[in-house]
Structure 1
Amino acid sequence: MELSELLLMVIEPSRMQRNIIVGHLRKMGIVAIEEFTEAAPALERMQGITPDIVISAMHLPDMTGSELVGQMRTKPELCDVTFFLISSETLYRYLEPIRQAGATVILPKPYDPERLNEALSSAVNYVAARQNDFEGTNEEFDDLWIMVVDDSSTSRKYLHRVLTSLGIHNIREAKDGAEALQILKSQRFDLIITDYNMPNIDGLELVEHIRHYSDQPSIPIVVVTSEQNDEPLHALKTAGVSAICEKPLSYVALRKLIRHLINEIE
């Protein structure tokens, strides 16, 4: 799949910002771009045609970007659509809901064109995987078992799809660390990908328990988190995580990380 094959919807109330974004997209060779200043007309349009990527600001006249992606995720035909947020917003209370709702990329405003290029290239692979057009499957991954731990069903679904596109089909899901530990009592895994902030048992407690009390202490563990404070991140490193990745994790970054960790196992 090429960038020129994508259908994008850009939702940005500022005409100047919208022109900058659309102009950049067109320079990249993207032709099919529909523009909106509010979320409601965009959602109505999505009932008739499913976009490949939605690019939105956070603060729209009729709702926030978090509410927009939240509504999209409730509709079967839109639940897997790639969602980019471009925003100058830095408050956790605004950004965390949109991460949990399934934003694929969050870019600061004014955005870095190079980062947008990378995000779009990653999105092409994800869209191709959604359409069963991805050729990156690898038979050597057929026997791998991976557990995905996250209290967000949307995040679990996204990670599940990426893993499947890599040719990894043996995947178990857990909604928090407590459920993950129960599963680990009866099954062995080659890799665990876990969220950090979860109810009952969080990512740090899960890592510590696996490293000190389970019969699989050396299993690679990747923690995906939106946490910015140095103290919890340091605690995760001290606990023995294999990698810490910022949430949301891009398609390409996750693919490279998994391949790297699997090669280390071998």
Structure 2
Amino acid sequence: MERLSQSDLNILLVEPSAMQRKVIENELKHEQVTAIDQAATIAEALQSISAIQPDLIASALYFEDGTALDLLREVRGLSECAGTPFMLVTSETRLAQLEVFKQSGVIAILPKPFSRQHLNSALSATVELLSPEELELENYDITSLKALVVDDSKMARKMITRVLGNLGVNDIIEAEDGAEAIATLTETDVDFVVTDFNMPNIDGAELTAYIRNSDRLSSLPVLMVTSEQDETKLSHINHCGIDALIDKPFSPTEVKCLLHRLLDN
């Protein structure tokens, strides 16, 4: 498959303010993105999507007819757009308001105002997601590896499995929490684990502790993804035996680099 570039992207910009749409449009054009459709409401966005399927939806948080979460749910319910990358652009800083988007598998959350570096990173992540490229390893054939993905968010699991699939990992088992993951690990051998931290029943730290205390599993690579911001909890995560930690939302390039380090060293 020919690799896309940022200039190939078709973006749907959903923003109620005409002035903000103009600002963001100018920034996108600075990044060589010229195929930009615009909408001011959720209804207009869905109408646009029905006509032209975008490569990326860049959305504000609040609209007269709902929120970005309403739009995201509508988009995920459309079979042709279920996997379309979604980027939130917002001045909202309250973690509780942003958490649901971090758990939903968005490609990026950009602050208002955002820097060109923020925007470039988000566009690069979109290109990576839309351009599968098999990870080359010295010690393994990536297509032969089996992964266990653990997250209580179905949409987050979909995002992680899509990124892994793009890298060549197609044998993937999913678990909704640490308890289900442990049940899986007692019956099935896997080559590495990608787990969330905050989960019901048994969280990611407890799952990692189980793995490290198991004679059979103790050397199993564990990559943890989390939206956690609390310093005390982050310190606990870093000391629970994980091999690598990555923030939500994450870029495919970050996952690629970490897996290369974990599996080839």
TM superposition score category, shorter chain reference: over 0.9
> Is residue 2:204 matched to residue 1:203?
yes
Two-structure CA RMSD over aligned residues (Å): 1.5
1:18 equivalent in structure 2: 21
What CA deviation, in whole Å up to 9, does each residue of 1:55-92 have, x standing for no partner? 01112222111221122112211110001111111223
Aligned mate of 1:93, from 86, 93, 96: 96
Measured in 2, the distance between the counterparts of 1:205 and 1:135 equals 33
Structure 1 partner of 2:12: 9
Q: Tell me the distance in 2 between the aligned counterparts of 1:213 and 1:108.
A: 42
Structure-1 separation of matches of 2:257 and 2:189: 23
* 2:107–2:125 Cα contact (<8 Å) kept: no
8 A contact 1:69–1:102 mirrored in 2: no
Stretches of structure 2 lacking an aligned partner (at least 5 in a row): none
Q: Residues of 2 paired with 1:86 and 1:123: CA distance?
A: 15
- Rounded Cα–Cα distance in structure 2 between residues aligned with 1:40 and 1:197: 34
Describe how 1:21-170 pairs up with structure 2 within 5 A: 21-128=24-131, 134-138=132-136, 140-170=141-171
Query: Offset of 1:142 from its aligned partner?
Result: 2.1
In structure 2, distance between residues paired with 1:126 and 1:219: 26
Query: Aligned-pair distance for 1:202?
Result: 1.1
Matching residue's letter, 2:69: S
Query: What is the CA deviation profile of residues 176-205 of structure 1, one whole-angstrom value per residue up to 9, with x for unaligned ones?
Result: 111100011122222110011111111111
SS in 2 for 1:55: strand
Distance 1:120 1:208 in 2: 36
Aligned mates of 1:66, 1:197 — CA distance in 2: 21
How do 1:173-188 and structure 2 match up within 5 A? 173-188=174-189
User: What whole-Å deviation, never above 9, does each CA across 1:159-179 have from its counterpart, x for those lacking one?
Assistant: 111111111122111111111
Aligned position for 1:236: 237
Q: Is the 8 A contact 2:56 2:85 kept in 1?
A: yes
Amino acid at match of 1:256: C
Q: 1:81 & 1:234 partners in 2: Cα distance?
A: 34
Counterpart-to-counterpart distance in 1, 2:201 and 2:215 = 18
Instruction: Classify the secondary structure of the residue corresponding to 2:87.
Output: strand
Kindly, what percent of the aligned residue pairs are identical?
Answer: 37
Q: Is the 8 A contact 2:135 2:256 kept in 1?
A: no
Q: TM-score, normalising length from structure 2?
A: 0.92
- C-alpha distance after superposition, 1:15-50 (max 9, x if no partner): 222211110111222121011111221012212221
* Paired AA for residue 244 in structure 2: A
- TM-superposed CA distance for 1:138, in Å, is 3.9
Q: Is the 8 A contact 1:73 1:101 kept in 2?
A: no
Whether 1:194 and 2:192 are equivalent positions in the alignment is no
Q: Give the letter aligned to residue 127 of structure 1.
A: L
Q: Is the 8 A contact 2:103 2:248 kept in 1?
A: no
Q: Deviations over 1:215-262 (max 9, x none)?
A: 201211111111100111111111111111111111211121111211
Structure 1 residue runs without a partner (length 5+):
129-133
With structure 1 as the length reference, what TM-score do the two structures score? 0.92
Deviation at 1:137?
4.9
